[in-house]
Amino acid sequence: MKQAQKIADNIYFVGGVDYNVRNFHGYSTDKGSTYNSYLIIDEKIALIDGVKEPFTDEQIEKISSVIDISKIDYIISNHAEPDHSGSLPKLKELTGAEIYTSFPNGVKDLKGYYGDLGYKEIKPNDTLSLGKKTLRFFPTPMVHWPDNMVTYLEEDHILFSNDAFGEHYATSKRFDFEVDLNETLKQADKYFANIVLPYIPQTVNALKALSNLQIDMICPSHGVIWKDHIDKIMKIYDDITNYRDGENAVIVYDSMWHSTEKMAYAIGNAFASKNISYVLLDLKTNHISDIMTQVMKSKYLAVGSPTLNNNMMPTVAAFLCYLKGLNPKNKKFIAFGSYGWGGQSIKQVSDELEGLKYEPICDLIKVQYNPTNEVLENITKTIAEKL
């Protein structure tokens, strides 16, 4: 039987740990994920969030290792996305508990997914007493869905933050001080870049709404609980929402016969000549969700594609589509690539980047066939002069 893990007095982790998930809506979850759920035992018993549907039995076993599951009085649904609500129909059947969710969007979304399970509407700043403990609710719309909210346990100073402050990281440990901190922070960066990034203004509003709370623990719905390193996860959110990008560069490209690749290296030399750190990311070997983490933290973005059948390479098109959705702001860009005839891809790349309101560093960098050393040196020199 799977066991609940105690995280504080009368509070238990009863979520699912998914060691095997490797793709989350196109986001490569190389360390798996967790679907966190928390059980709070007081005069009344509350469950914070469901789990992804295939983890329903795991959640039920964990709850049942602590209490008779039928004793749950309230289920708080901070977010209707199915990774946090998939188990709700079964939980409702087993417990008859009232399901509290944000109004109007939580109610609308849960009804849309599961029909009418009988929802209690939560409005901003509503509270729910469990006896000695009190839950207070804060809507956090569009971080990252319209229905999102977070729940604060007032007496214990615990924030159940749902998707905010999460990271996709499967581990048997529950706390930040029990795991590799560098890996955790790396996954938190990646999570922000791939989930939260389009919603920076809404994240700023949410952080403001929570700024007066004393927070001793942050219990997100993915990954580990922040306890000893709350300052570090807060710093990630503070830096990103204040656009403190590094003075560094990302060079993303695909190449057919190494010509565009040689140009990528020549562009790297230009950044190096100005002491600007850069990273070269070939789309054949780097996942777009990892690339986004680098792009989020960089000031310069160079994107290269050869021309294939009058178009950019499909890998480059996929990257630019993903980039457009996540919409990181304020980048300076270079569009480059090689071609045999036509050469349309470079302008196509440039148009996409201009569409994001990025500022071009230089004219299009185009080379027919194979760039000579002289051509490559010229590319380096031309770009370096503009940096």
Using CB under 6 A, which residues numbered 274 to 313 contact ligand FEO? none
Measured CA to CA, the distance from residue 238 to residue 225 in angstroms comes to 19
State the nearest-atom distance from the C-beta of 298 to ligand FEO, in Å. 26
> φ, ψ for residue 24 (rounded to 5)?
-130, 90
Whether 223 contacts 168, CB under 8 Å: yes
Which residue lies nearer to ligand FEO by CB, 203 or 305?
Answer: 203
State the nearest-atom distance from the C-beta of 179 to ligand FEO, in Å. 19
Tell me, yes or no, if 168 is annotated catalytic.
no
Which residue lies nearer to ligand FEO by CB, 205 or 286?
Answer: 205
Using CB under 6 A, which residues numbered 190 to 249 contact ligand FEO? 221-222
Question: DSSP E strands: which ranges in 155-195?
Answer: 158-162
Given 222, 237, 254, 261, the catalytic residue: 222
Given 58, 81, 109, 189, the catalytic residue: 81
Please list the residues that pair with 339 across neighbouring strands: 368
State the nearest-atom distance from the C-beta of 162 to ligand FEO, in Å. 7
Using CB under 6 A, which residues numbered 159 to 178 contact ligand FEO? 163
State the nearest-atom distance from the C-beta of 221 to ligand FEO, in Å. 5
Specify the pairing of strand 149-153 against strand 158-162: antiparallel
State the nearest-atom distance from the C-beta of 132 to ligand FEO, in Å. 30
Write the interaction track for ligand FEO spanning residues 69-108; mark x where CB under 6 A is met and - where it is not.
----------x-x-xx------------------------
- Give one DSSP letter per residue of 8-38, joined into a string: ETTEEE--EEESS--EETTEE-TT-EEE--E
Tell me, yes or no, if 84 is annotated catalytic.
no
Given 38, 79, 229, 300, the catalytic residue: 79
Question: DSSP E strands: which ranges in 221-331?
Answer: 246-253, 278-282, 298-304
Nearest alpha-carbon partner for 45 in 30, 64, 28: 64
Given 191, 253, 278, 300, the catalytic residue: 191
Tell me, yes or no, if 157 is annotated catalytic.
no
CB-based closest residue to ligand FEO: 81
Q: Which helix (H) or strand (E) holds 64?
A: helix 56-64
Tell me the chain's radius of gyration from C-alpha atoms: 24
Amino acid identity, residue 311? N
Nearest alpha-carbon partner for 366 in 346, 350, 382: 346
Given 25, 359, 363, 377, the catalytic residue: 25
State the nearest-atom distance from the C-beta of 100 to ligand FEO, in Å. 18
Given 163, 167, 189, 261, the catalytic residue: 163
Whether 332 contacts 247, CB under 8 Å: no
What's the N-to-C CA distance of the chain in angstroms?
60
Tell me, yes or no, if 258 is annotated catalytic.
no
In Å, how far are 34, 49, 56, 77, 261 from 61, measured between CA atoms?
Answer: 16, 15, 9, 19, 53
Q: Give the count of residues interacting with ligand FEO (CB under 6 A).
A: 9
Tell me, yes or no, if 245 is annotated catalytic.
no
Binding site for ligand FEO (CB under 6 A): 79, 81, 83-84, 144-145, 163, 221-222
Q: Which residues are catalytic?
A: 25, 79, 81, 83, 144, 163, 191, 222
